[in-house]
Amino acid sequence: MMTGDAAYIKKINRSLIVSKIIEYGMNSRADLLKITSLNKSESSFFNHLLNIHTPNDN
């Protein structure tokens, strides 16, 4: 198993998330967590992506 600092791991997780979105399409946060096997604490990047792709009700 590879180890790394927090910034490196965050970068790997982001790459995984983006590649799965490309592969499977934009899904719900729950679906993406299941697809990537990440847990909620590892997936703060999901919020950023979902905010970009979710229209505001303003």
Of the pLDDT bands very low, low, confident and very high (cuts 50, 70, 90), residue 2 is low
Q: Terminus-to-terminus CA distance in the chain, angstroms?
A: 46
Sequence-distant (6+) residues with CB within 8 A of 15 are none
Query: What rounded mean pLDDT belongs to the chain?
Result: 75
pLDDT at 49: 67
58: its two tokens: 């303003």
Of the pLDDT bands very low, low, confident and very high (cuts 50, 70, 90), residue 36 is confident
pTM of the model: 0.63
Q: Does the pLDDT at position 54 exceed 80?
A: no
Of the pLDDT bands very low, low, confident and very high (cuts 50, 70, 90), residue 25 is confident
Domain positions in the chain are 6-53
Dihedral pair phi/psi, residue 28, rounded to 5°: -70, 165
